[in-house]
């Protein structure tokens, strides 16, 4: 199998590293420049200035390939996080297909989605470019303690599993404790036992309203018509905003269930936030 054969299902960095490693025509100097560029502009400039050389990562062929477990969401429990104060629990039916979570504006749909995303990935894609605002507003102002997230899972060939995140009363967002518990076994630190690290990097578990809409249109109409429908939808949103109509939903979210269909947020029959 060539590097290109399975590139679709692997991180880009791994594909590039294996490609340059297999190319005997490339000099070591050129390979160092590629590695430095992958690390970022600072590393590349340091190499050009002769200050340092880039770190040479381990070849993917030498790494243990993690096999992600198949799972369905059964529940998301949240307390003291974002718009949810006292503990609230969202029960979900663990089965193939799409589960629609419907509720009025301000009922907590976004908070449940962001809590799920943070528990699984350790960040929020929605707030990624708004780091300071996210850092200042992630804990509920009125009921910030206890602050926790519990994600219930039905795992293929295993006992019911829970992924948990806990914060102490004065902890910052990243100063949390994440753990996984299978059945009544002892909790293990982090989520590595589930083998999801690479999977959630390649396939984000939470999609925005626009991203989900484009994915559905791409599947329904094909690439050419998808672009036209996307442009028309954005014009429609702009028209509603200009006339004072309801145009929320650009930050809506859906969970892809980590390889299994799981849930989608909805407002009045539409994916919304």
Q: Is the pLDDT of residue 149 over 80?
A: yes
Number of domains in the chain: 3
pLDDT given for residue 226 in this prediction: 65
Are 202 and 217 members of one domain? no
Are 156 and 221 members of one domain? no
Are 142 and 169 members of one domain? yes
Are 19 and 141 members of one domain? no
Are 75 and 25 members of one domain? no
Domain that holds residue 218: 209-250
Residue 81 lies in a domain: yes
Are 147 and 29 members of one domain? no
pLDDT given for residue 52 in this prediction: 74
Are 113 and 164 members of one domain? yes
Angle at 196 between CA 35 and CA 77, to 5 degrees: 135
pLDDT given for residue 219 in this prediction: 79
pLDDT given for residue 273 in this prediction: 37
Residue 164 lies in a domain: yes
Distance CA 108, CA 113 (A): 9
Residue scoring higher pLDDT (165 or 244):
165
Are 215 and 187 members of one domain? no
pLDDT given for residue 227 in this prediction: 65
- pTM score: 0.61
Residue 255 lies in a domain: no
**For residue 229, what pLDDT band results from cuts at 50, 70 and 90?**
low
Residue 260 lies in a domain: no
Q: What Å distances lie between residue 234 and 126, 216, 244, CA to CA?
A: 19, 15, 15
Q: What is the mean pLDDT of residues 121-129?
A: 79
Q: Is the pLDDT of residue 188 over 90?
A: yes
Are 139 and 33 members of one domain? no
Phi and psi of 266, rounded to 5°? Answer: -150, 145
Residue 80 lies in a domain: yes
pLDDT given for residue 257 in this prediction: 41
pLDDT tens track for 28-81: 888 888 888 877 787 778 878 887 776 666 555 555 555 677 889 999 999 999
Residue scoring higher pLDDT (59 or 95):
95
**For residue 137, what pLDDT band results from cuts at 50, 70 and 90?**
confident
Residue 106 lies in a domain: yes
Are 18 and 30 members of one domain? yes
């Amino acid at each position: 199998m060539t590097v290109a054969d399975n590139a679709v299902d692997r991180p880009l960095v791994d594909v590039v590293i294996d490609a340059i490693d297999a190319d005997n025509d490339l000099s070591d100097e050129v390979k160092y420049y590629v590695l430095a560029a992958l690390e970022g502009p600072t590393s590349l400039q340091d190499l050009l200035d002769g200050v340092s050389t880039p770190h040479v990562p381990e070849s993917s062929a030498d790494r243990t390939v993690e096999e992600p477990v198949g799972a369905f969401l059964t529940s998301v429990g949240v307390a003291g996080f974002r718009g949810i104060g006292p503990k609230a629990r969202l029960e979900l039916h663990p089965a193939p297909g799409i589960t629609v979570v419907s509720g009025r504006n301000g009922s907590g749909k976004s908070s449940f989605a962001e809590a799920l995303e943070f528990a699984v990935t350790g960040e929020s894609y929605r707030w990624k470019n708004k780091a300071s605002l996210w850092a200042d507003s992630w804990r509920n102002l009125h009921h910030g303690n206890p602050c926790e997230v519990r994600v219930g899972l039905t795992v293929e060939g295993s006992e019911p599993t829970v992924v948990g995140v806990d914060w102490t009363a004065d902890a910052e967002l990243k100063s949390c404790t994440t753990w996984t518990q299978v059945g009544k076994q002892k909790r293990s630190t982090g989520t590595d036992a589930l083998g999801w690290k690479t999977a959630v990097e390649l396939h984000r578990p939470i999609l925005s309203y626009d991203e989900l809409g484009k994915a559905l249109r791409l599947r329904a109409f094909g690439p050419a018509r998808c672009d036209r429908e996307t442009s028309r939808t954005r014009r429609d949103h702009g028209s509603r905003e200009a006339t004072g109509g309801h145009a929320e939903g650009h930050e809506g979210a859906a969970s892809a269930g980590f390889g299994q269909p799981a849930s989608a947020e909805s407002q009045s029959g539409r994916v919304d936030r």
